[in-house]
Structure formats: C-alpha cells, structure tokens
C-alpha cells in the first residue's frame, strides 16, 4: 500500500515554489512586502503560469496572503498567532519527540549529532542563515525518525508561516536555539519518551523568546 504522499516530480512550478519557500524562511522577504506575478516571472525568466501556481500554493500554505484580489503580500505575524503556532508545535513536536524516542536507531542519532556539531560551528562563525537552516533540519528530523509524514507536512507549513521571523531571531537567540537540542538527543539515546517530549517543549519555549521579542518590537514600531 503506497503511503499518502505528494509525488516530487520536477517542473517549473515546483522549482519556483521551492525557491520562494527558501526566500521566506531565510528572511529575504519582509512582512508587508508585495509580490507581483509578472515581476517574479521576469525575475525567474519564465511565464506567469508556474509563478501563479507557486503563489497560489503559498497562499494555501498561509505563508503569503491576498490582501485583495490584486494585492499579494507577505503577512506580518501577530503575537496571538505566533503564540498559537507555538502551542501547536508544543503538542505536535512533543508527540514527534515522544514517538521518535521509541524508535530511534543509532543511525538516526548520528544524523542528529552531526547536525548539532555543524550548528556549533555555525554559531561560532556567526552564520545566521546556516544556523537557522540546521535548527530547522533538527526539528524536521524528529517527525521523520518517528515515521510521521502528516505531522511533518504540518510542521513544514508552520515553519513557512514563521519564516520571516526565524532567521532574524537566530543570532539574538544565540545558544538558546541549540542548548535544548542536546537533552533531546540524550533522551532519544535512552529511549526516554517523556524526557524527549519535555526537552523539545523546553527548546520550543526557550527558542521562542527572541521571536516573541522581535514580534513585540515590530508591534511597537507599528504603533509609533
């Protein structure tokens, strides 16, 4: 019985979608930025159809919004919405960590440890983008180890929605973005579901502080 997955076959639509996702997550777009289908078509050197496909998909992901039928924007992230996303992540990533702790292999743990090692180097080098990318890779490994593709899809979308805030919060966050990864890995080694779940929840809460601070500062700027 084949699993319920979207086939990853290559076409312009997917390539554009991937590029726009990367740009969102890397903070290359800012809240309020306007996207125009014809502009992007010109930048990518292709017709409007695959751009339009990718844009509609991102709107479905709630990573971009149609402020009106002709006005496509990068949305801001309200404090309320961020808190909701964080509460959802706590529940879902907690579930993923719990399940991953039950089934993780030595190979899985090696991958996680390699990610941590590279992330130490990124922090050392002040490489904000690399660090944010590795942080995401770590979080995305847990549902993969746990064998939870549906949850993986949900998490991917939540990451897109937080995108413009993540990489900017990374350096201010410093070690807060990585310190709790170690106890997660230790709990996986011991097959300790409870400890894994608690550690990832701590990571989400601690890692969320600089994001909340950034959102609050953004709200203050808007109120001026």
Partner DNA sequence: ACAAGATATTTGATGCATCTTTTTTGAACT
Partner DNA sequence: AGTTCAAAAAAGATGCATCAAATATCTTGT
Residues that bind DNA (CB under 7 A): 11-13, 34-39, 46-50, 52-53, 56, 66-72
Q: Please give the C-alpha separations between residue 207 and each of 23, 58, 187, in angstroms, as whole numbers.
A: 21, 25, 19
198: contact with its own copies by CB under 8 A: no
As measured in angstroms, the least distance from the Cβ of 66 to its own copies is 5
* 153, HSE (Cβ side, Cα atoms, 13 Å): 7
Label residues 93-105 b or e (16+ Cβ within 10 Å = b).
Answer: bbbbbbbbbeebe
Is the Cα torsion angle 55, 58, 64, 65 positive or negative in sign? positive
As measured in angstroms, the least distance from the Cβ of 20 to DNA is 13
213: contact with its own copies by CB under 8 A: no
112: contact with its own copies by CB under 8 A: no
Residue 121 binds: one of its own copies, DNA, none (C-beta under 5 to 8 A by kind)? none
CB-based burial of residue 44 (10 Å sphere; 0-12 exposed, 13-18 middle, 19+ buried)? middle
Q: Can you give the binding site for its own copies, defined by CB under 8 A? A: 1-7, 9, 11, 13, 53, 56-57, 59-62, 65-69, 75-78, 80-81, 84-85, 87-88, 91-92, 94-95, 147-151, 153-154, 158, 161, 219, 222
């Amino acid at each position: 019985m084949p699993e319920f997955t979207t086939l990853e076959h290559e076409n312009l639509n997917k390539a554009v979608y991937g590029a726009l996702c990367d740009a969102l997550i890397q903070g290359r777009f800012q809240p309020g930025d306007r996207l125009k289908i014809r502009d992007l078509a010109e930048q990518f050197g292709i017709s409007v159809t695959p751009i339009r496909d990718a844009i509609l998909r991102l709107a479905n992901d709630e990573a971009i919004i149609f402020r009106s039928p002709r006005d496509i924007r990068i949305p801001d992230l309200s404090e309320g919405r961020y808190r909701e996303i964080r509460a959802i992540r706590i529940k879902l990533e907690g579930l993923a960590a719990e399940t991953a702790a039950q089934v993780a292999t030595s190979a899985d743990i090696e991958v996680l440890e390699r990610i941590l090692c590279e992330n130490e180097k990124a922090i050392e080098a002040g490489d904000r983008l690399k660090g944010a990318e590795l942080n995401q890779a770590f979080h995305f490994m847990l549902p993969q180890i746990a064998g939870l593709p549906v949850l993986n899809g949900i998490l991917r979308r939540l990451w897109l929605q937080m995108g413009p805030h993540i990489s900017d919060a990374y350096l201010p966050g410093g070690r807060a973005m990585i310190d709790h990864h170690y106890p997660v890995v230790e709990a996986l080694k011991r097959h300790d579901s409870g400890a894994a779940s608690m550690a990832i929840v701590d990571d989400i809460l601690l890692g969320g502080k600089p994001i909340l601070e950034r959102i609050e500062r953004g709200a203050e700027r808007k109120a001026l």
